[in-house]
Amino acid sequence: MKFTPEELAEMAAADAEIEKDFSLTREERISANERDREAERENKTAQQRYNSAYYLAHKEAIKAYVKAWNDANAEHVKAHRKAYYEANKERIREWKKEWYQANKERINAKARARKAAKKAAEKQR
């Protein structure tokens, strides 16, 4: 069923009015997030639920194992990271450029704070 342009305009106006005043309370957001997590858990297979529970129960041991492996195989990790960078160089550069443009004010604020702290430290000497 197709809508006429007038009906589409009317629906868009009604949607805009609803969205204008719509906001969830903190409790509603928490409840919605809990429902989302529960739905995700229900949609997992038994193996996925087992893997998730195992990881949560052994998170620290897994992190320690991965760190030890990375330390023992530092050359392999370095070569792998370099190969990845070379294969994705343009995409990474573009992402970094976009991130810098989006966070320029934040970066400048940190630089000003560092400069002010350095100046204050020099004054105390």
Q: Which residues contact 7 (CB under 8 A, 6 or more apart)?
A: none
Is the Cβ–Cβ distance between 12 and 20 less than 8 Å? no
Q: Residue 22, SS3? A: coil
CA distance readout (Å), 36 to 7, 24, 29, 31, 98: 33, 15, 10, 9, 31
Structure confidence by residue, pLDDT tens digits, 81-92: 999 999 999 999
* pLDDT beyond 70 at 1: no
Is the Cβ–Cβ distance between 24 and 32 less than 8 Å? yes
Whole-model pTM? 0.46
Please give the single-letter amino acid code of residue 74: A
CA dist 37 and 107 (Å) reads 34
Structure confidence by residue, pLDDT tens digits, 39-66: 888 888 889 989 989 999 999 999 999 9
